[in-house]
């Protein structure tokens, strides 16, 4: 195993896109940011200098951070933000993960432009559990705003209304040739007939689930969220923000040019928020660069059936070298509702529905970040008043979660900083139940510091008698981000084997802004964080 050292400088950079020039925050002037190539077992030391005008942190999305919680990165959870002019060094080791992960800013909406790929090759001396690819192609799906995304979210927070949607979807930072002024702003990659390509796809978009297809080519999924899967052939992928998918693509079509394309899956909406398509070009060596590329047919914006078929097809690899250890029994049984709500604006009218403001919650608690200490520091120092350990294990009232407007109680969540304390090594089963109080939507729920098995999922209200009988406890897929189906539920299992404070949240940034988050504190007693290393000396304080 190697030790790799990198320097990230956050800075303002001017970029030309969609008929205009804009200043965005980048890492080292690059958009998207640098791709890190490592092997399983390697240690990364990344020194981050903040030369931008905003508070910032970097999160290593999906990295287990086994016993290195100080390096996880979400602001006010494991560290206070790096102030403008400040710096912080992240140190961590990749343990037991192979495939594609990514890194992104975890402060306000900075991640709109501050993100990049983290590619993890097999442990030195071992190889892939599939045909060795001839070429690797990172594909970062993203979103582009013609306005400063931080202004967009700040305006929405002020008014209580929904924030503006982005102006384009992107592939490796480029909108592609279907958007205005973008005919040459398109990612192109050349491949050789007969060769096998490993596409490492990540959804780095802020607020959009995305379908992805390649014209005329079948893809074989081999890993999701840096965990190997049984090979799954498909013509279309759906990735929620935060998710990654590795696919093998054999260049087995005629010499020519083929579009790779992505567009939104707007799960619960009667109308698509944005039905535009971002494109990139796969060009065979020897093809004419003037020939028109073939376009794939992407699913309709609300094609939940295709999403479900794809999700249901995923299975852990479960080979001798990559075994499956699904917990067969459970110590903690948790049931969390996830969804949107509204908060009344007393004495004034806000910009949300009926003069209210948008809110989102888990079990009717809308998460508020602390500001004086990070949760991890407060836990370690025994500081009172930063958070309370009373996050509820169940919703306060039971109702028909998938019917609209039934329970007035859940219209209006409480805003608070509550955590759930898990004893070290507890086996957890968590049911994530989507709600439809005024709108149902699919939510990509991401857990920091742990991967989990998705043992079941379905539509409607979870039934604790009949649904567990259908759980897959043999080879369910393991991920760090699960798409809770629109008007449905997902069941996950994990072992709380990593001491620290771990954020769990919807990876649609608009929902985290509205409070769709909570924190698990994993420790071995009320005040001890078992074997957590003491904080690095340069840890930013509030
Ligand atoms: Cu990809 Cu909390 O993050």
Of the candidates 271, 144, 261, 163, the one whose C-alpha atom is nearest the C-alpha of residue 204 is 144
3-state secondary structure of 467: helix
Residue 272: its pLDDT value, please? 67
Residue 108: which pLDDT band, with cuts at 50, 70 and 90? very high
* Residue 199's CATH number: 2.60.40.420
Residue 407: its pLDDT value, please? 65
Residue the block writes with tokens 């994530």: 432
Pick the atom of ligand 1 nearest to 512's CA: 2
Residue 489 has pLDDT above 70, yes or no: yes
- 176 shares a domain with 111: no
Residue 439 has pLDDT above 80, yes or no: yes
Whole-number Å distance between alpha carbons of 26 and 58:
12
Whole-number Å distance between alpha carbons of 341 and 511:
10
- 511 shares a domain with 416: yes
Q: How far is the CA of 356 from the centre of ligand 1 (A)?
A: 28
- 259 shares a domain with 135: yes
- 399 shares a domain with 288: no
Whole-number Å distance between alpha carbons of 293 and 299:
19
Whole-number Å distance between alpha carbons of 78 and 241:
22
Residue 438: its pLDDT value, please? 81
Residue 525: its pLDDT value, please? 66
Q: What percent of the chain has pLDDT over 90?
A: 88
Residue 326 lies in a domain: no
Q: Looking at residue 408, what DSSP letter applies? A: G
Please spell the DSSP secondary structure of 326-339, one letter per residue: --SS-SEEEEEEEE
Which residue segment(s) compose the domain that 169 sits in? 127-307
- 184 shares a domain with 118: no
Task: Count how many domains the chain has.
Answer: 3
Does the interface ipTM go beyond 0.95? yes
- Which element (helix H / strand E) includes 25? strand 20-27
Please spell the DSSP secondary structure of 239-289, one letter per residue: E-TT-EEEEEEE--S-SSEEEEEEEEE-TT-SS-S---EEEEEEEETT--T
Q: Would you say the CB of residue 479 lies under 6 angstroms from ligand 1?
A: no
Q: Would you say the CB of residue 505 lies under 6 angstroms from ligand 1?
A: yes
Residue 8: its pLDDT value, please? 98
- Averaged pLDDT of the chain: 95
- 84 shares a domain with 140: no
User: Mean of the pLDDT values across residues 10-31?
Assistant: 97
- 148 shares a domain with 115: no
Residue 151 lies in a domain: yes
- 490 shares a domain with 398: yes
Residues 267-322 pLDDT 10s? 876 666 788 999 999 999 999 988 899 999 999 999 999 999 999 999 999 999 99
Q: CB within 8 A of 346, min separation 6: which ones? A: none
Of the candidates 290, 288, 310, the one whose C-alpha atom is nearest the C-alpha of residue 299 is 310
Q: Would you say the CB of residue 242 lies under 6 angstroms from ligand 1?
A: yes
Domain boundary among 109, 126, 143: 126
Residues 156-212 pLDDT 10s? 999 999 999 999 999 999 999 999 999 999 999 999 999 999 999 999 999 999 999
- 385 shares a domain with 272: no
Residue 526: its pLDDT value, please? 59
Residue the block writes with tokens 């390649």: 214
Lowest-confidence range among 139-148, 416-425, 514-523, 532-541?
A: 532-541
Q: Is the pTM of this model over 0.95?
A: yes
Can you count the helices (H) and strands (E) in the chain? 4, 32
Domain boundary among 108, 126, 144: 126
Residue 394 has pLDDT above 90, yes or no: yes
Q: How far is the CA of 512 from the centre of ligand 1 (A)?
A: 10
Counting Cβ atoms within 10 Å, is residue 192 exposed (0-12), middle (13-18) or buried (19+)?
middle
- 296 shares a domain with 199: yes
Residue 215: which pLDDT band, with cuts at 50, 70 and 90? very high
Q: CB within 8 A of 269, min separation 6: which ones? A: 301, 302, 439, 441
- 408 shares a domain with 283: no
- 454 shares a domain with 347: yes
Q: How far is the CA of 416 from the centre of ligand 1 (A)?
A: 20
Whole-number Å distance between alpha carbons of 453 and 435:
22
Q: Would you say the CB of residue 104 lies under 6 angstroms from ligand 1?
A: yes
Whole-number Å distance between alpha carbons of 226 and 203:
13
Residues 112-171 pLDDT 10s? 999 999 999 999 999 999 999 999 999 999 999 999 999 999 999 999 999 999 999 999
Residue 488 has a CB neighbour count (10 Å cut-off) of 24
Residue 484: its pLDDT value, please? 98
Residue 19: its pLDDT value, please? 95
Residue 150: half-sphere exposure toward Cβ, Cα within 13 Å: 16
Whole-number Å distance between alpha carbons of 178 and 347:
46
Residue 415: its pLDDT value, please? 95
Residue 450 has pLDDT above 90, yes or no: yes
């Amino acid at each position: 195993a190697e030790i790799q050292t990198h320097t990230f400088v956050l800075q303002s950079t001017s970029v030309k896109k969609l008929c205009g020039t804009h200043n965005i925050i980048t890492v080292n002037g690059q958009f998207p940011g640098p791709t890190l190539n490592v092997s399983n077992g390697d240690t990364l030391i990344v020194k981050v200098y903040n030369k931008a005008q905003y508070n910032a942190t970097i999160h290593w999305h999906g990295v287990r951070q086994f016993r290195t919680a100080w390096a996880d990165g979400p602001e006010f959870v494991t560290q206070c933000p790096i102030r403008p002019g400040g710096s912080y060094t992240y140190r961590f080791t990749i343990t037991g993960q192979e495939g594609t992960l990514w890194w992104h800013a975890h402060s306000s909406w900075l991640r709109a432009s501050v993100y990049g790929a983290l590619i993890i090759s097999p442990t030195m001396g071992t190889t892939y559990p599939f045909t060795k690819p001839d070429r690797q192609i990172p594909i970062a799906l993203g979103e582009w705003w013609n306005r400063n995304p931080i202004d967009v979210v700040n305006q929405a927070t002020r008014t209580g209304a929904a924030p503006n949607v982005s102006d384009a979807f992107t592939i490796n930072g480029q909108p592609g040739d279907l958007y205005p002024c973008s005919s040459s702003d398109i990612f192109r990659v050349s491949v050789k007939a007969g060769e096998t390509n490993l596409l490492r796809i990540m959804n780095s978009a802020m607020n959009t689930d995305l379908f992805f297809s390649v014209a005329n080519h079948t893809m074989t999924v081999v890993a999701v969220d840096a965990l190997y899967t049984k090979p799954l052939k498909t013509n279309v992928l759906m990735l929620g923000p935060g998710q990654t998918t590795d696919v093998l693509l054999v260049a087995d079509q005629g010499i020519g040019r083929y579009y790779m394309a992505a567009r939104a899956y707007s799960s619960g909406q009667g109308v698509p928020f944005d039905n535009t398509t971002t494109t990139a070009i796969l060009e065979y060596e020897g093809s004419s660069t003037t020939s028109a590329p073939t376009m794939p047919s992407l699913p309709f914006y609300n094609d939940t059936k295709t999403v479900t078929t794809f999700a249901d097809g995923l299975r852990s690899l479960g080979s001798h070298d990559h075994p499956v250890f699904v917990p067969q029994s459970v110590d903690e049984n948790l049931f969390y509702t996830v969804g949107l709500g509204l908060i009344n604006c007393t004495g004034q009218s806000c910009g949300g529905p009926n003069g209210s403001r948008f809110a989102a919650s888990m079990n009717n608690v809308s998460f508020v970040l602390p500001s004086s200490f990070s949760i991890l520091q407060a836990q370690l120092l025994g500081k009172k008043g930063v958070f309370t350990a009373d996050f509820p294990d169940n919703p306060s009232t039971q109702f028909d979660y998938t019917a609209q407007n039934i329970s007035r109680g859940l219209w209006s969540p409480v805003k608070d900083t509550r955590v759930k304390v898990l004893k070290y090594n507890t086996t957890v089963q968590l049911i994530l139940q989507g709600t439809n109080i005024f709108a149902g939507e699919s939510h990509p729920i991401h857990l920091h510091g742990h991967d989990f098995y998705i043992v079941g999922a379905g539509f409607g209200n979870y039934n604790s008698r009949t649904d567990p009988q259908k759980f897959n406890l043999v080879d369910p897929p393991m991920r760090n981000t699960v798409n809770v189906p629109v008007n449905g539920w997902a069941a996950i299992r994990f072992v709380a084997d990593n001491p620290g404070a771990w954020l769990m949240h919807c990876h649609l940034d608009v929902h985290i802004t509205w409070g769709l988050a909570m924190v698990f504190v994993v420790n071995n007693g009320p005040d001890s964080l078992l074997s957590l290393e003491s904080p690095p000396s340069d840890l930013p304080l509030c």
